[in-house]
Amino acid sequence: MTAPSSTPALQQQVTLLELVDRVLNKGVVLTGDVTLSVAGVDLVYVGLRVLLTSVATLERLDRESR
């Protein structure tokens, strides 16, 4: 699905971000399966913050190009 205002690059970045967010933060949790190592999660989120920043940048570029 694409919305009228999104560039392919922005779409792709956001899709990846939303995917990681779903896999790590949503979905059913059964007791006994929740102890993700803090270090591991932090690593993923450092990556996500970088991604979020690039989304903001892309969003600006996207608007400037219109």
Partner 1 sequence: MTLHLYAVAEHGVELPPVDGIDGASLRCVQVDDLDAIVSDVDGATSPTEAAVLTHAAVVDAVAAAADAVLPARFGSGFEQEGAVATEVGARRDELLRALERVRGCVELGVRALVGDVAAPEDTGATDSGRTYMLARLERVRAGERLCADLDSALAPVARAASSSVVGSEPLVVTGAYLVPRGDIDAFQERVDDLHRERPELTLICTGPWPPYSFATVDAARS
Which residues sit at the interface with partner 1, rule CB under 8 A?
A: 1-6, 10-11, 14-15, 18-37, 40-41, 43-44, 47, 52, 55-56, 59-60, 62-63
> Which residue bears the tokens 């990846």?
16
Kindly state the DSSP code that residue 33 receives in the 8-state scheme: S
Query: Minimal distance in Å, beta carbon 2 to partner 1?
Result: 7
Query: Minimal distance in Å, beta carbon 59 to partner 1?
Result: 5
Interior angle at CA 32, CA 30 and CA 38, nearest 5: 105
Query: Minimal distance in Å, beta carbon 37 to partner 1?
Result: 6
